[in-house]
C-alpha cells in the first residue's frame, strides 16, 4: 500500500473514532462584543470532556448585531453531552451562573429544532415572582429583574440528537514550538466550520489519553504510544526525531461538519510542511468498536 502524504507530511492510514452525542446551543448577546464573549467564554469554561465536566462546550461563531434576535453583538455557544436531561442541568447551571450574572447579557435559543430543553423556563425563578413573561408569536421570553436592569432569556432552546463528539487530529513534529504553531493554525482553520466546536484549551489537547490504566480506579490514562519521553517503549509509535505531539478534538452537529473541520485542520497543519518541522498526521481511535463514526484520514487529503 502506498504511503499517504500531503505537502511532504506523512498521513497515517488510520481513522478518528467519534461518538453519538446530544447537543444544544445558546445565543448570548450583550451591549458590546467584548461582554458577549466574556459571558460565553465563562459559560463554556471547564467544559472540555463530558466525562469529568458534564459536557463539552465552546464558542461556535461570533454573531454580528444583524444575526442576533435583539440586534446586539453576540456569540453562539454549543454544548454537547450524553443526553437531553444532562444538557438541561448543564444549561441551568452554566447559563444561570455565568450568563445571568454577566453585565447586560441576554440569552436566546441557539438551535432551531422541535425537541426543546428548558432555558428561561427554569432561570425565570431567579426573579422571585417579579419576572415577566412575554410571548411574541410562538416564542416566549422571560424578563428577569436584575441589578443592572433586566435579564432577557428565551423560554427554551433546541436539542439535537445524533450529533458527533470526538473527531480528532494528531499533529506530530520535530519540536514543541513548531508543533504548537501548526496546531494553532489547525485550530484556526478547523474553527471556521459552522456547527463545530473545539472544547479543549485553545482547541488543543496535549494530554491525549488511552482507555484504561494500570491503576484500577483510572478509566483513562496517558497516551504512552505518542509520548516523546516514552520512546523506547515497545509500543512507542514515534520516530526517533519526533519531539512533540499535539491533538485537536472537535465536536460537531453533523458528520459532514466534523469531517470538514478535520480536513481543514489537516490541511492547515500540513501547509507548514517538513521544512517547518511538521512530520506526520495521525488520529486517535479505540480499535473502531466503541464509536459509531469513523473519520478516515485518507478521505481528508
Partner 1 sequence: MAALTFTLKATPPERLDLSALVPARLTGLSAAEIAALAIGSTRSGVTLGDMFDIAGDDPTEIRITGHERLDNVGRGLTGGTIAVDGDVGIYAGRAMKAGTVTVSGSVKGPYLGTAMTGGAIRVAGDAADAVGGAVPGAMHGQAGGLIVVGGSVGDYAGDRMRRGVLVVKGYVGDAAGVRMVGGTIVARALGTRAGLGMKRGTLIGKTVADLEPTFVPTGTYDFPFLALLRRYLETEAPGTGALVPQKNPRRYRGDMAALGKGEIIVD
Shortest distance, position 34 Cβ to partner 1, whole Å: 17
72 contacts partner 1 (rule: CB under 8 A)? yes
Smallest distance, partner 1 to C-beta of residue 90, A: 23
Cβ proximity to partner 1, 129 vs 216, nearer residue: 129
Smallest distance from partner 1 to CB 300, Å: 41
Distance CA 204, CA 199 (A): 8
Site size with partner 1, rule: CB under 8 A: 18
Residue 148 C-beta: closest distance to partner 1, Å: 9
Q: What is the 3-state secondary structure (H, E, C) of 240-293?
A: CCCCEEEEEEEEECCHHHHHHHHHHHHHHHHHHCHHHCEEEEECCCCCCCCCCE
Among 22, 57, 106, 283, binds partner 1 (CB under 8 A): 106
Residue 110 near residue 61 (C-beta atoms within 8 A): no
H/E run at residue 134: strand 132-136
The 16-35 contact track toward partner 1, x by CB under 8 A, reads -------------x------
Residues 137-196 that bind partner 1 (CB under 8 A): 137, 141, 143, 149-150, 152
If the CB atoms of residues 19 and 108 are measured against partner 1, the closer one turns out to be 108
Would you say 35 or 141 has its CB closer to partner 1? 141
Asked if residues 78 and 23 have their Cβ atoms less than 8 Å apart, the reply is: yes
Instruction: Rank residues 106 and 183 by Cβ distance to partner 1 and give the closer one.
Output: 106
| 92: number of Cβ within 10 Å | 16
φ, ψ (nearest 5 deg) of residue 195: 85, 15
Cα–Cα distance between 21 and 1 in angstroms, integer? 35
Residue of the chain from 34, 64, 70, 218 that contacts partner 1 (CB under 8 A): 70
Residue 67 as a binder of partner 1 (CB under 8 A): the answer is no
Q: Does 71 engage in binding with partner 1 (CB under 8 A)?
A: yes
DSSP 43: H
Question: How far is the C-alpha of 215 from the C-alpha of 39, rounded, in Å?
Answer: 39
Residues in Cβ contact with 46 at an 8 Å cutoff, skipping those fewer than 6 apart: 53
Residues between 108 and 147 that touch partner 1 (CB under 8 A): 130, 132-137, 141, 143
Secondary structure class of 146 (helix, strand, coil): strand
Nearer to partner 1, 68 or 90 (CB): 68
Nearer to partner 1 by Cβ, of 108 and 226: the residue is: 108
Question: What's the min distance (Å) between Cβ of 65 and partner 1?
Answer: 10
Residue whose C-alpha cell reads 425563578 in the numeric block: 125
Task: Compute the radius of gyration of the chain from its Cα atoms.
Answer: 21
- Does residue number 228 form part of the binding site for partner 1 (CB under 8 A)? no
Strand partners, 259: none
CB 250 within 8 Å of CB 198 = yes
Where does this chain bind partner 1 (CB under 8 A)?
Answer: 29, 69-72, 106, 130, 132-137, 141, 143, 149-150, 152
Amino acid at each position: 500500500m502506498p504511503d499517504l502524504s500531503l505537502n511532504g507530511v506523512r498521513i497515517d492510514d488510520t481513522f478518528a473514532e467519534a461518538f453519538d452525542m446530544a447537543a444544544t446551543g445558546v445565543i448570548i448577546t450583550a451591549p458590546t462584543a467584548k461582554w458577549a464573549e466574556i459571558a460565553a467564554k465563562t459559560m463554556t469554561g471547564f467544559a472540555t470532556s463530558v466525562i469529568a465536566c458534564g459536557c463539552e462546550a465552546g464558542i461556535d461563531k461570533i454573531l454580528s448585531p444583524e444575526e442576533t434576535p435583539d440586534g446586539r453583538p453576540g456569540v453562539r455557544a454549543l454544548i454537547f453531552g450524553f443526553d437531553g436531561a444532562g444538557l438541561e442541568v448543564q444549561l441551568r447551571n452554566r447559563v444561570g451562573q455565568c450568563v445571568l450574572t454577566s453585565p447586560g447579557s441576554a440569552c436566546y435559543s441557539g438551535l432551531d429544532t422541535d425537541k426543546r430543553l428548558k432555558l428561561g423556563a427554569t432561570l425565570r425563578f431567579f426573579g422571585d415572582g417579579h419576572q415577566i413573561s412575554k410571548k411574541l408569536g410562538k416564542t416566549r421570553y422571560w424578563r428577569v429583574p436584575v441589578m443592572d436592569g433586566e435579564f432577557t432569556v428565551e423560554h427554551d432552546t433546541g436539542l439535537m440528537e445524533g450529533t458527533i463528539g470526538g473527531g480528532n487530529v494528531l499533529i506530530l513534529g520535530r519540536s514543541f514550538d513548531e508543533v504548537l504553531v501548526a496546531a494553532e493554525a489547525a485550530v484556526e482553520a478547523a474553527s471556521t466550520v459552522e456547527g463545530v466546536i473545539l472544547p479543549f484549551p485553545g482547541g488543543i489537547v496535549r494530554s491525549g489519553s488511552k482507555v484504561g490504566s494500570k491503576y484500577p480506579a483510572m478509566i483513562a490514562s496517558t497516551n504512552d504510544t505518542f509520548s516523546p519521553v516514552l520512546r523506547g517503549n515497545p509500543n512507542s509509535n514515534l520516530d526517533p526525531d519526533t519531539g512533540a505531539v499535539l491533538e485537536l478534538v472537535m465536536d460537531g452537529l453533523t458528520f459532514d461538519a466534523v469531517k470538514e473541520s478535520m480536513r481543514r485542520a489537516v490541511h492547515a497543519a500540513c501547509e507548514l510542511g517538513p521544512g517547518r518541522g511538521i512530520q506526520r498526521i495521525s488520529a486517535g481511535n479505540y480499535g473502531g468498536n466503541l464509536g459509531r463514526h469513523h473519520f478516515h484520514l485518507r478521505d481528508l487529503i
